[in-house]
Structures are given as C-alpha cells and as structure tokens.
A = this chain, B = another copy of it.
Amino acid sequence: MTLSEENYLKAIFNLEEQTHKGVPTNAIAEMMETKASSATDMVKRLSEKDLLKYKPYQGTRLTPKGKSHAVKVIRKHRLWETFLVENLDFTWDEVHEVAEQLEHIQSDKLIHQLDKFLGYPKTDPHGDPIPDEEGNIAKIEKKVLAELQQEDEGVCVGVDDSSSAFLKYLDKLDISLGNKIKVIEKEAFDNSMVIQVEENTISISSLASKNIYVRKTS
C-alpha cells in the first residue's frame, strides 16, 4: 500500500461516513486537492486491489478490506497526534500536518508500543476517538453547540472543523476540550450565542457554534 493510496482510502472513508452513500469522484478529488481525472485513475487502481467497489459514473464505496485499512491509518494518525501534543509540546493546531506524514510509517510493533506508551488514550487532541487494535471506533456522544438552548450546560468534547485557523481562534477564546460551557443567551437574529466557558463569558458566531461539539450535562 503506497502513501498516496492510503491518503485516498482515508479520504473516501471520511466522505462515506458523512453521507452513507456512494462517494462521487468529484468529492474525492476535492478532498484530495487534485483533479477528477486523477481521482478516477486512483479509484480504478484501488478497485483492482479490492479495496473499493467502483462502477463508472456511480460513486465508489470501500470494501471491508478497504475500510479496515483506512481505519488503521486513522488510528495511527490520531495516536501520533496525541504523542505530539502530550509529549512534544505541540499545540492542537500544529499536529495535523506532521501526523499526515507519520500515519504512513509501517510497523505494527511501533504503533502497538506507541499506544502503550501513551497509556491507551481514547481520543486524540481534537476529541476524535482513536480506533483500537481491532479497528473498533468508539462512538462519542456529542451534540453541536448551536443546538443547545438557553440555560443548557455541557462539556466541550470535540470540533467539527480541525483547521488550524479555527483551532487558533478557539485558543484565543480560551475554549479547549473538557471545558464546561453554559448557554447564557441565544440571539435569534443571527444565531450568535453568549456562552460561559468555565469562568469567562464570551459571544460567538453561529458559524463557530456549529463547529463545536459538546456533551450535554443538563
């Protein structure tokens, strides 16, 4: 399995998770930041290797084999992200780029020992679940912050958008995983919110509140 094949598998896995339908070639190309013709080529190659099912003009779907491989790459990605933050003083907005490379290192022992070294973490620095050695992914109970009502309380458990820009914005607002969040006010006009994060009271836009996940506590 080449680096490029693994990146495509991961992209297709994520797209399939979101929509639960066959993934269009264009969607793959967009996620991979490449051209549709390149995506078609790759999809054919992966189909040849039984990693996905592909029929021209209909989307593609991963086979169990393809899914299993994608999950392994995701496991590695998230374990490495955890290592970078926990042990090498990376911030949560810096890890993705490096993990994107580290996820392709081939060594079962390496990843098994890394998991052990980290103390078998359940989630990565963005709150995403780390698949176990058998490929099981725990489902994290979460709601998007925008859906909470006035007076509702919750704990921040993840983000939808893991872009560096958004994560840095959250840092500036002092919002991080595990923080207690309470909705003080919802503005009907633009769907912005006034929320209390731990001690601080701040206002956030609708766009931001749609990208923050919470576990409701009341």
Contact = CB atoms under 8 A, between A and B. Distances in A.
Contacts of A107: 97-98, 101
Nearest to A94: B109
Contacts of A88: 110, 113-114, 116-117
Contacts of A116: 88
Copies in the complex: 2
- Determine the interface band of chain A, counting residues with CB < 8 A from chain B: 10 to 19
A89 B101 contact: no
Interface string A97-112: 1100110011101100
Nearest to A107: B98
For the complex of A and B, 5 pairs with smallest distance between CB atoms: A88-B113, A98-B107, A101-B105, A98-B110, A88-B117
A90 B105 contact: no
Contacts of A102: 102, 105
